[in-house]
Amino acid sequence: MLETSARLLKLLSLLQAHKEWSGPELAGRLGVSTRTIRNDVERLRTLGYPVHATPGVAGGYRLGAGAALPPLLLDDEEAVAVAVGLGRAAGGGVAGIEETSVRALAKLEQVLPSRLRRRVNALNTHTVHIPGEAPSVPPETLTTIANAARDHERLRFDYTGHKGAGSRREAEPYRLVHRRGRWYLMAWDVERADWRTFRVDRITLKVPATGARFTPRDLPGDVAEYVERGISTAMWEHRGTVLLRAPAERIRDLGYGLEIEEVDAGTCLMRLGGDNLEGIAAWIGFLGVDFEVLDPPELAEAVRTLAERYGRAVSDR
């Protein structure tokens, strides 16, 4: 009886971790026959877990949504992560979820073992959360996007750009990133055949939101750096390319999230932008290295004007 119970818990954990399993896959994971898997699935259904089965060679088992929420299985690390996440959610960031998060956190802390409760309390005591003023996002939007990324399903949505222009998008979602109070989606834009970063609060999901399955692509490097770079360039009115007389690593170590391309051991290309050319010209000077403006000519003129102004400031001394 103990062996059967342990196996049921393991089976339930597998079903919760992945959208769909074939019978042979589950049997191989648990070291039993497919007949035993069928019997165990029936036991889970008796306990209230809505396990759906699809017949045929391409069929399998998946855990569906039921009329009531059955018990969830969480290991120690998952329980701590959920508790800390609920504490953060209680402080805002997701629309309408603050009060619900407090209630859920109270229930979870009531059943947490003392060793885990101490870990959660330590994290909450020694970290500070400063809520931002960014637009909140409906929780169902986040979960739909996260599920689509998990299951490799394309997303269909309307998107409003920073200048108010609307467009219809179909994208392959990969990562949700939370930065300074805002949620961002890193995805492959199908029509544009390129990686894009979308602000989630500007996304309006279509009905149905998900479409065909896709084969995952290799990510374009570090996700955090890519999203940071995408956010930094999205609202630029002017862009420029500058050759810096400094090693690429020295500039990257400054931590500005700039787009840097190494030329040789002592020089690198930097692509940057801003709302006005004068501001870009002044900012480049803060790097403290020699440089050459490659484009556009208007940026070179702004640097020249700034240099003349600085020269006049000290010419009489």
For 77-94, what is each residue's pLDDT tens digit? 878 888 877 776 665 566
Per-residue pLDDT band at 2 (split at 50, 70, 90): very low
With 90 as the cut, is the pLDDT of residue 56 above it?
Answer: no
Cα-based distances in Å from 142 to 60, 94, 175: 27, 9, 11
- 147-161, 191-205, 219-233, 268-282: which has the minimum mean pLDDT? 219-233
What is the model's pTM? Answer: 0.53
pLDDT at 67 over 60: no
- Cα gap 162→166, rounded to integer Å: 9
Q: How many CB atoms lie within 10 A of CB 219?
A: 13
User: 33-37, 115-119, 153-157, 161-165 — which is least confidently predicted?
Assistant: 161-165
DSSP-assigned beta bridge partners for residue 269: 243, 261
Q: Grade residue 1 by pLDDT with cuts at 50, 70 and 90.
A: very low
pLDDT digits (tens, 9 = 90+) for 129-182: 555 556 678 878 888 888 888 889 999 999 998 777 889 999 999 998 877 677
Task: Return mean pLDDT, the chain.
Answer: 83
> How many CB atoms sit inside 10 A of residue 283's CB?
12
Q: Rounded to 5 degrees, what angle do the CA atoms 314, 316, 317 make? A: 70
The pLDDT assigned to 269 comes to 94
118 vs 242 pLDDT, higher one: 242
Q: By the 8 A CB rule, do 244 and 267 touch?
A: yes
DSSP 59-86: -EEEE---SSPPPPP--HHHHHHHHHHH
Please say if the pLDDT value at position 71 is more than 90: no
Reading the block at residue 22, the tokens are 């074939």
The better pLDDT of the pair 137, 103 is held by 137
Distance, in Å, from the CA atom of 143 to the CA atom of 6, rounded to the nearest integer, reads 30
| Whether 271 contacts 263, CB under 8 Å | no
Cβ contact 19:62 at 8 Å:
yes
